[in-house]
Amino acid sequence: MPRNNTRRKQARRTKEKWFVPKVIFRVFQSLTVFIMVLIILFAALGVGVGAGYFAYLVEDTKLPSKSELQSELGNITETSKLVYADNTEISTIQTDLMRTTVPSDQMSPYLKSAIISTEDEYFEEHKGYVPKAVIRALFSEATGIGSSGGSTLTQQLVKQQILTDETTFKRKANEILLAAQVEKHFTKDEIISTYLNVSPFGRNNKGQNIAGVQEAAQGIFGVNASDLSLPQAAFIAGLPQSPITYSPYTNTGALKEDLSAGLERKDIVLFSMYREHQITKEEYEEAKAYDLTQDFLGQQVAEQSDRDFLYYTVMNAATDIIARQLGEKDEADLSDADVYNAYYQRAEQTIQNQGYTIHSTIDKDIYEAMQAGVANFGYLLDDGRGTPVETGNVLMDNKTGRVYGFVGGRNYALNQNNHAFDTQRQAGSSIKPMLVYGPAIDMGLVGSESRVSDYETTWQEGANAGEDIVNATNKGSNTFQTVRESLEWSNNIPAYHLYQDVLNNGGSKQYAYETYLSKMNYPTNANWGVESAPLGTVDVTTLQQTNGFQTLANNGEFQQAYIIDSITDNDGNVIYQHEHKPVRVFSEAAASIVNDMMRSVIDEKITTPFKDDISSLNGSLGQADWIGKTGSTNEFRDSWLVVSTPSITISSWAGHDDNTGMDSQARFRSSKYLANLINQVYQVNPSIFGTDQKFSLASDVKKEDVAAFTGQLPGKVTVDRRSINTPSKTVESLWAKDGPEKSTFKFGVGGTDENYKDYWNTVGTFERENPQNKDDDKDDD
């Protein structure tokens, strides 16, 4: 009996010991079952809601028949065209996309397995889409978390050939629906073969855009698609993800200096094939180790066509517009070069296939006159040093920024570099009105007759610190020039001092660029802040320089240069319309003062004989109110001349593409050439030049009588403890704001105390040579 009691007590203690854990376990078990039931219920609800949402998105979609799909999946295109401003045709746009379709049995099996392994591992199993990818896309759309991604090859084919590029879930839903329809009507082999025949594969060794694996195989490796080796097939299969980035060739057909992106992509494809058991480990390692660069074809010249600078300039501008439209719709980061290139290629295909009409701003008669001008007078630029001197010219309307015409080069068949729109060269002194004189006057730092040091001085910063700053013909004239004189002579030392004054007063090395040049679409460059920037050491295009002078000629208001007026589709719907977006850069007062000084540059003929050259050709043109500026660089590698009337601005750059120098007569040849070019245009359209118009000073320009000797207000000045009166001769100085102060010992911009003492010692000579009553003031215009 005692034993039974003992057992009962032990059993009771054991039962009590496990009671709590059992309760916890049962509660946990019940909660788990409950949670699982909730998950199942919510999942079912989610699937139901998702299915309903999907049905809503595609309710208006009409399912195409097999024949309709067959037509749409093929490369059915509508011819687009480029037209002049009067709507006469420049050219039809024949696709640059080289494509040769081949049947499935003429494609290497490696190609198909490579594409499937890399792009769509479930291709053989799915029905056009992968359900879990759809659920993921639904979740992403609903929550904004994650990426929808996961498109099958069938979806990619549908997106590429049928749908638009919008990124809404409605398009994604239609993509899934149409992909299922494609799978219903076509075999897997038909789908993969179509994909390989229509997809873009970058460029070939002629620089042409290519699509389809046959063109890729022949244009990259010189073999047929059926004969590709494993590493060759893997390389081609990697291209569709980013064809331009992974292509081994540039747009000229030259091999890229850095081929790593495409080769690394090839290795990813090979690993995907190995992972999916399409190739053995030995095949993978052998193909990965193979030096594929030895198989790339060398550069070849594409067959010549009738396309020239005009065709490609207008086409490139239109493609950029459409690329930006597509990118903005997708909220893409177009500052990323790879992203931009991808959209640019999509834009090319859109323009080529959609029956667009690209309406350019180009006046047919003016453009043809300019081509005749360079053909007839381009020889005037030659320096007798071997290869012909090249040129770039742009003719622009001041009020709108419209490009009437341009010259891309001497002969497109011999040199395809577009020297008007693409080639970047140092601006030389032609940058001074926009970078130095415009800001200095706009800020009220100087007036037109203020004095600036032209005494010998040295660079203070950088590698050239301690070296002399030199003008074109001397190390300084050892005097204080007026602002107007320094621009007429295009001297570097006064420009240097003025620019330092601009930056010091602006408070930043980049002040002039950020406040002025950036608004005129000049390129971002840290060198705008260096001491030598006023000498034109930053590279610019002829178009950018023309636009800078347009700003000054247009009363200080920038209108971005444009060559595309509008783009319409086959039904006449406007896809794009240029909008004028003026930007105030300089005050009207400052611009009008700089224009007045640039009239002196042309009239005084110190740096260019343009006034004589244009007058000798055409009296009416000689009477026009011409303003302008010259520019040259070391060893005369570049020769610039940009001139304006109140109506138009026309530019001329000349130089050798290999950057070798010309002789010192380059500026005279540039002047004669540009005068002849302008006269050619005048013969076909004289109205654009506004020969009856005059540049005038803005109503708020301050006209101040200043002492000619100091550029400041007349008065007594203490020099070496002696009080003397400024010489009596006065001149009218033009100020945009503020105004001159009373004359002081250090009256000018730049210069040392010794320079000022030296200058004050010339007071007597100055008075004798410049009596007050001598009537030598310039005529008001």
CA distance 437 to 177: 64
Query: How many residues would you count in the chain?
Result: 781
CA atoms within 13 A on the CB side of 199: 28
Beta strands in 462-526 (DSSP E): 480-482
Q: Which residues contact 291 (CB under 8 A, 6 or more apart)?
A: none
In which band, very low, low, confident or very high, does the pLDDT at 778 lie, cut at 50, 70 and 90?
Answer: very low
Q: Pairing between strand 627-632 and 209-211?
A: unpaired
Name the least confident of 177-186, 216-225, 243-252, 320-329: 177-186
Tokens 């043109």 belong to 621
Three-state DSSP state, 617: helix
Cβ 578 vs Cβ 565: under 8 Å: yes
Question: What dihedral angle (degrees, nearest 10) is formed by the CA atoms of 394, 397, 400, 404?
Answer: -60
The first and second tokens of residue 486, run together, are 């320094």
pLDDT tens profile 113-146: 999 999 888 888 888 788 776 666 656 655 555 5
148, pLDDT greater than 90? no
**Helices 66-73 and 169-185: angle between axes, nearest 10 degrees:** 110
Joined together, the tokens standing for residue 387 give 């290869």
Residues 244 and 277: their CA atoms lie apart, in Å, by 29
Higher per-residue confidence, 155 vs 321? 321
Pick the closest to residue 548 from 525, 530, 529, 521 (CA basis). Answer: 521
Neighbour count for residue 712 (Cβ, 10 Å): 24
DSSP secondary structure string, 174-191? HHHHHHHHHHHHS-HHHH
Q: What are phi and psi of 113, to 5 degrees?
A: -70, -35
Cβ-proximal residues to 394 (8 Å cutoff; 6+ apart), any chain: 403, 406, 420, 421, 542, 543, 546, 561, 650, 651
Report the C-alpha gap between 744 and 617 in whole angstroms: 48
CA dist 665 and 344 (Å) reads 43
pLDDT at 7: 59
Contact 668, 659 (CB under 8 A): no
Cβ atoms 698, 589 nearer than 8 A: yes
3-class SS letters over 211-278? ECHHHHHHHHHCCCHHHCCHHHHHHHHHHHHCHHHHCCECCCCCECCCCHHHHHHHHHHHHHHHHCCC
Q: In the prediction, which pLDDT does 779 show?
A: 38
Give the number of C-alpha atoms closer than 13 A to the C-alpha of residue 125, restricted to the C-beta side.
Answer: 6
In the block, tokens 């002049």 appear at 84
Assigned token pair, 714? 């007349």
d(CA 478, CA 165): 66
> Which residues in 545-573 are b (16+ Cβ under 10 Å) and which e?
bbbbbbbbbbbbbbbbbbbbbebbeeeee
Give me the percent of the chain exceeding a pLDDT of 70: 85
CB 321 within 8 A of CB 567: yes
Contact at 8 Å (CB) between 91 and 197?
Answer: no
Res 579 pLDDT > 60: yes
Question: What's the mean per-residue pLDDT of the chain?
Answer: 88
CB-facing half-sphere around the CA of 647: CA atoms within 13 A: 13
Assess contact for 246 and 220: CB atoms under 8 A: no
**Using alpha carbons only, what angle is made at residue 458 by residues 453 and 463, rounded to the nearest 5 degrees?**
145
pLDDT higher than 80, residue 39 = no
Give dist(CA 401, CA 391) in Å, integer: 21
The reported pLDDT for the residue numbered 151 is 84
| The pLDDT value given to residue 13 | 61
Measured distance CA(456)–CA(432) in Å, rounded: 20
Measured CA to CA, the distance from residue 442 to residue 299 in angstroms comes to: 52
Distance CA 365, CA 372 (A): 10
Of 241, 290, 255, the C-alpha closest to 270 is 290
d(CA 642, CA 629): 6
Closest CA to 213 of 134, 284, 297, 114: 114
Coil, strand, or helix at residue 209?
strand
Distance of CA 487 to the CA centre of its chain: 31
Record the tokens describing residue 56, joined without a space.
Answer: 């809503």
Classify burial at 27, counting beta carbons within 10 Å of its beta carbon; exposed 0-12, middle 13-18, buried 19 or more: exposed
The amino acid present at 278, given as its one-letter code, is: Q
* Cβ proximity of 664 and 658 under 8 Å: no
pLDDT tens-digit map of 591-630:
999 999 999 999 999 999 999 999 999 999 999 999 999 9
Euclidean distance between CA atoms 204 and 111, whole angstroms? 18
Q: Give dist(CA 474, CA 456) in Å, integer.
A: 9
Four-residue CA torsion sign, 228, 230, 235, 241: positive
Work out the pLDDT band at 651, boundaries 50, 70, 90: very high
- Give residue 76's pLDDT: 46
Q: In this structure, what token pair is assigned to residue 687?
A: 């109205």
Helix H or strand E encompassing 103: none
Residue 161: CB atoms within 10 A of its CB come to 21
pLDDT score of 338: 87
Contacts 24+ apart (CB under 8 A), 505-508: 505/443, 505/445, 506/439, 506/443
Q: Look at residue 514 and tell me whether its pLDDT is greater than 60.
A: yes
Cα separation of the two ends of the chain: 136
**pLDDT at residue 675 above 70?**
yes
More confident residue, 79 or 701: 701
d(CA 497, CA 486): 11
pLDDT at position 31, please?
Answer: 56
Q: Report helix, strand or coil for 732.
A: strand
Pairing of strands 716-719, 425-426: unpaired
Task: Say if pTM beats, i.e. exceeds, 0.85.
Answer: no
* pLDDT, position 535: 96
The pLDDT of residue 362 is above 70: yes
Q: 69 pLDDT band (50/70/90 cuts)?
A: confident
Q: How far apart are CA 1 and CA 515, in angstroms?
A: 108
Q: What distances in angstroms separate CA 672 from CA 378, 612, 629, 665, one per listed residue?
A: 10, 9, 15, 11
Q: Which of 259, 215, 253, 207 is nearest to 236 (CA)?
A: 215
- Per-residue pLDDT for 29 more than 80? no
* Kind plus residue range of the DSSP H or E element containing 650: strand 648-655
